[in-house]
Structure 1
């Protein structure tokens, strides 16, 4: 699967106006999630250099007792505009054991990224308002496609949505939350 994704920093935007526009376009509130992402660095290579990611995500819906745990590998970004990557994800059922397995194999964990994600959806497009601890507030727009053939048209669809929200493509952010947090500490 390929996750076509664009992200915008909301510090100079009006989130309420963006939400109002999304609702007028037919987006519906899906849920609010609290997510904790623990990233691991490679054994034989530095994922920051190779532009890959390996993480364990603990995700739970606010107001429910439904925690889910996912292990995700993200490949290199596939274009120069967005955060589009190949993504392989599997649900696991024991977070501590998964951490121990990775650490026993030599993977090095990084301090977790914590965020609250308010998710809206229309058909196969998902829009998230993310409030990321020690990073800031961001808007993510994504669509999952099954192959490279669909990737380009999906990217144009997301960029059109961004334009409809009166957000310039100059505001696109390609760095991950992990990279952004590192930048905030420098």
Structure 2
């Protein structure tokens, strides 16, 4: 279990952001295509409790992640508890979860490039049906919101956090895409 501190910003020119990351010493660690299937709990409304259960598939690897309720900073940064476990057979795991009453509600597909700096992991995302975003996640939550703001400025971006998750944006657009 870990707590993450991150901010998401919508971007118009991901290439410019990548150049800024490289100029600040960031290095590309991986580029992947991720498919996230979100599941509804049989007895709890995750939308109202602000939780999520996600099966992620990427490059032949799968993991199941529980995301606890978000704590939003008044400046727009988000922190939340995450618990992730590797899954050897994602189809069987989803079948098991269905028998327990969980149901897939939406799929989020994205191309994501991960960059690492001394203080943050920066993801440049292209989300099917939504557009381009940058997520800046503190490696050490002690970096704080001011540290995230500093990195966002260094990337040449305005501090305009997107508080919705990709799942919430997809559902708002009416696109479950299962």
TM-score, normalisation: structure 1: 0.86
Q: CA RMSD in A?
A: 1.6
CA–CA distance in structure 2, aligned partners of residues 16 and 165 of structure 1: 11
Q: Deviations over 1:39-63 (max 9, x none)?
A: 0111221101110010110011xxx
1:141 to 114, 131, 136: 136
Q: Does 1:166 align with 2:156?
A: yes
1:156 to 142, 146, 151: 146
1:70 to 46, 54, 63: 63
Q: Does 1:9 align with 2:10?
A: yes
CA distance 1:87–1:123, change in 2 (3 Å): same
CA–CA distance in structure 2, aligned partners of residues 185 and 99 of structure 1: 23
| 1:112 equivalent in structure 2 | 107
Find runs of 4+ consecutive structure 1 residues off by over 6 angstroms. Answer: none
| 1:33 equivalent in structure 2 | 32
Residue 70 of structure 1: how far off its partner (Å) = 0.5
CA distance 1:152–1:124, change in 2 (3 Å): closer
Q: Which runs of 5+ in 2 are unaligned?
A: none
Q: Does 1:18 align with 2:13?
A: no
1:176 to 146, 161, 165: 165
Q: Which runs of 5+ in 1 are unaligned?
A: 61-66, 146-150
How many pairs are equivalent?
172
Q: Deviations over 1:74-125 (max 9, x none)?
A: 0011223223211011111001111011111101111311111011111351
CA–CA distance in structure 2, aligned partners of residues 134 and 46 of structure 1: 25
TM-score, normalisation: structure 2: 0.89
